[in-house]
Chains A and B, each alone.
Chain A
Amino acid sequence: MIKNFYSKFLFQNPKKVILLVFILISFLGYYATKLEIDASSETLLLENDKDLAFAREVSKNYETQDMLIVTFTPKKDLLSEESLNTIKNISDDLLKLKETDSITSVLNVPLLQSPVRPISELVDNVKTIQNSKNIDKKLVKKEFLNSPLYKNSLVSNDFKTTAIVINLKRENRFFSLVEKRNALLKKKNDGTASKEELLKYKKVSQEFKQYRDNQREENSKYIQNVRDVIKKYQNEETLFLGGVNMIATDIISFVKNDLVIYGTTLILLLIAILWIIFREIKWVLLSVLICALSVIATSGMLGFFNWEVTVISSNFISLQLIITISIVLHLIVRYRELSSKYTNSSQSKLVLNTMLSKFSPSFFAIITTIAGFGSLLLSNIQPVINLGWMMSAGIAISLIISFLVFPAILILLRKSKPNKSFENNLHFIEVAINIVKNKGNLILIGSIVLIIFSLTGASKLLVENSFISYFKENTEIYKSMKIIDQKLGGTTPLDVIINFDIKDKNNKEKKEETNNPDDMLSSFEDEFNTSSNDAQYWFTNYKMNIISKVHNYLESIKYIGKVQSLATMLEVGKILNDGKDLDSFKLALLYKKLPQEYKSIILDPYIDIDKNQARITMRIVDSNKDLRRDELLKQIKKDLTKIVGDDNVEIRLSNLMVLYNNMLQSLFDSQVKTLGFVILSLFIMFLLLFRSLILATIAILANIVPISIVFGIMGWTGIPLDIMTITIAAISIGIGVDDTIHYIHRFKEEFKKDHNYENAMMRSHRTIGFAMVYTSVAVMVGFSILVLSNLIPTIYFGLLTVIVMATILLSAILLLPRLLILFKPFSKV
């Protein structure tokens, strides 16, 4: 059938086929311009994560605001007129931007201890640097450095750096859209949604996406504007911009940069390599054309289906280039082999034989690669699932385009004698043959050493996701994050939510009541019960003790930066109250008397009286190399359960720290599962393909051994498995199987000729071996360019891919043939 397709259709109408492919791809090319990149933290979260719903609820209840932080390190003293003026000017400029809600800086925070005054006076007249003419700068400095409110958060401990916090306007629409969508999604998943509701769900989802797209654009414009403001003052002082919002924007711009720069550089490098190998312009042009068409078609398809490129899938162009070039190189090498062997054959015969002999191995290589990427669909994480779909679809597109365009163009060209100068000078293949023939044990020992290296390394593997380590030390985002992280109280936010009074013991008490009703007491009971739920009576010793002990515990952990809660205010209150704790009565009075303006700063973020709940917020020091996030969260949960064991409360952790950790743990779990699934499904496919248990085992071994090196290297060098590096193993398997399939397929063909293993090996090496070397070298050189990226995970990705490709090649031309010779799986053929 395939033969008929080529000889009767494609070879007859090559121009029509090319035209058709071009039309289809230009259609997709239009959609390629609509390809979107979304690196927001939102894309990394697990949509069905209960903790996410909880975190959103917390964020809504406590009306949390997004914020950016400008770190300011003046040359002069922090409280000098000049420095304060600069802060004032920067704040004024930032307030002119419409997304800015307010600015918090040393200028406008209340001074409570400069000097210490009775609470009554403080409440009547709050002093700030900005609103007071005569301030005692020595006292102010002392307060900033020692006050539980400001130390290690508003100013650094060396008093050289201060934070200018930009509070962004709250996006209520985001929450209303999420709520609407989730309510409908729940119905949809329950199967209780009506047709109308399904339509509405679709509409709301689109609206939400649209909203996020707009938001993303506005956010990036806003950050650019903030940066412009900062630039104005940069000459005189040291200023950096940081904050969670900025991480996303910077990652997006880095990813975009990488896509453009590495996509094009990769192609240029491939051109150079192709020229060095083949010394014929047609092979270079043909390869580049097919690669370009494949990438455009896939990008177009992503744009058409509205699949967004995320941090995780940002490597898809490079990946697709590798796979496409591998298909094309195998075709070219095969064609050149046939054309130098059968010098008298016609072009159509050569092309037909090339296509037919390569169809089956290429098809199976692609199918197994799809199985590798398809395994990603088993993960729970949308961007990873998307990467699975993207790559599976992309590879299929590459296969189709290669098998249409390659023969269609080649048939139009005249036959030429291949320039084999490179092959003739490449001694590598002969060296490999020699090793397989004469030093077989060395290969086996080497493989065992490699396995030991990998297993010991894998046992040291870390699953950590540190945003700060995504960036190079010379980038602005790294510098700002380091300052905020180490000097101004940490980076990743974590909340502890305390729900008080979870058991209702009223029933028990009622039963215990004696049958001796005291009328007078009952009438008093009624009187007090009517007002017992008034907000001011919420501040009981019991609650304050719990909040304080949880707060103190969290503050004692070295990985935690700034901790803030009602306990911070209690501590300040104690300072103002001559060192005595504020009792419940004073707290109640304070609550009644405090103006809303200050309530919203010191109480609202930390307590929810209606819900009978308190919130303790903190930031984790992301740059601490010893930090083990999952362990830390588990430890906190365990310790807190012990600390409040008898207190009739429920403790729950929340915010980004928990969400990222959930995502990473789930990614890791799914990795373990999918890796198992990939190996099993590959084994089954090898069994189907080769119809031999020994052969399938050999093929699997030849893949597992080189790929395990990824884990070995990562474990031994301390590169953590994070949201980027975690996909490398699946990708490596996807790429690695190709060599195995092509080689075994060829070996089988060669073995049929004389039933001699060594001869078959030598012939295979001298033919398909070259294609394998070329493919690997092209990919390795191409990927080495990624080390120039600004994103550290991309650099790791590049380096590890280069190493894996090298080991896969070595395994395919050393270990695989050695195992074939050793186990002689074809003896019955």
Chain B
Amino acid sequence: MFKKLFLIACLMSSLFAFEKENIQKQMSENIHQVLNILKNTNISKTEKNDKIIKIIDKSFDYNIMSMLVLGRTWKTISSEQRENFSNIFIKRLKESYIDKLELYNDQKIKINDLKENKSRLVLNTILIGKKENYPIDYKFYENRKNNQWYVYDVNILGVSIIQTYRKQFDEYLKEKTIDDLIKYLKEKNLKA
């Protein structure tokens, strides 16, 4: 179940940045696009991954995600460290997603209405399983510079991806430095 949920989270993040009124519509279009890539048996695994990553790249705001997972620490580190961290973290995030994508098999998704929560938008979707339905929430924020909406977090069954990373990095940084963390993530990426 978790693998599948994860997969769906990955699928859903494979969207383009949106204008507010298009979010819902574009979501359902794009999701099928990604599903088709996955179902396509004619292309290699690497090709599939590349194609999907291209979609993810446009819809996710990695910079804000990198900021969010580091929390207050973000403000205390140099711009070089920020860049290093973002690069390595984005790579980690993507690889983790790709890893889950490989496990995909047929699933149906129901997309509910968009809800507004303060200055953010939350799109609730439901993964329809054999016995139970699982809620997946996509959280969008508006980039004031281009007035586009981006995914900054996904909640699966009430578990936030960003929060999970935040907690980990927060604990790690209590005893170690940001450079240690960058090194640690690099090693993890190599192993993966």
Contacts and interface: CB of A to CB of B under 8 A. Distances in A.
B68 A528 contact: yes
Nearest to A503: B174
A124 B1 CA distance: 10
B157 interface: yes
B175 A525 contact: no
Contact of B3 (A118, A523, A527): A118
Given A124-B131, A518-B75, A523 B119 contact: yes
Nearest to B74: A521
Contact of A537 (B5, B6, B167): B167
Given A531-B163, A540-B167, A593 B76 contact: no
A583 B192 CA distance: 13
A498 to B, nearest CB: 13
B1 A118 contact: yes
Contacts of A598: none
Interface stretch (A424-432, A508-516, A613-621, A728-736): A508-516
A536 B156 CA distance: 12
B174 A584 contact: no
Contact of A536 (B3, B6, B76, B158): B158
B2 A509 contact: no
Contacts of A119: 1-2
Given A118-B3, A648-B175, A541 B75 contact: no
Interface string B149-162: 00010001111111
B86 to A, nearest CB: 14
Given A531-B163, A536-B159, A589-B157, A521 B2 contact: no
Nearest to A593: B157
A532 interface: yes
Interface residues of B, number: 39
B40 interface: no
A514 B1 contact: no
Contacts of B172: 541-542
A590 interface: yes
Given A120-B4, A523-B119, A536-B158, A509 B73 contact: yes
Contacts of B131: 124
A592 B158 contact: yes
Given A501-B174, A509-B72, A523-B119, A542 B2 contact: no
Given A503-B174, A512-B76, A521-B67, A540 B168 contact: yes
Contacts, number: 101
Interface string B49-86: 00000000000000010011001111110000000000
A534 B157 CA distance: 13
Contacts of A203: none
A525 B71 contact: yes
A501 B167 CA distance: 12
B106 interface: no
Given A120-B4, A528-B68, A516 B175 contact: no
Given A528-B71, A528-B166, A589 B159 contact: yes
Contacts of B4: 120
Interface string A438-470: 000000000000000000000000000000000
Contacts of A509: 72-73, 76
Contacts of B120: 527
A320 B157 CA distance: 72
Interface string B166-192: 111001101100000000000000000
B2 A646 contact: no
Contacts of A590: 2
A589 B5 contact: yes
A611 to B, nearest CB: 16
Contacts of B64: 524
Given A514-B75, A537-B164, A585-B164, A524 B68 contact: yes
27 contacts: A118-B1, A120-B1, A123-B1, A124-B132, A501-B171, A509-B73, A510-B72, A513-B72, A513-B76, A521-B75, A523-B119, A524-B141, A528-B68, A528-B160, A536-B159, A537-B164, A537-B167, A540-B167, A542-B168, A543-B171, A584-B168, A585-B6, A589-B156, A592-B158, A592-B159, A593-B2, A646-B175
Q: Which 6 A-B pairs have the closest CB atoms?
A: A120-B1, A542-B171, A588-B159, A540-B168, A537-B167, A512-B76
Interface of B: 1-6, 64, 67-68, 71-76, 96, 119-120, 131-132, 141, 152, 156-168, 171-172, 174-175
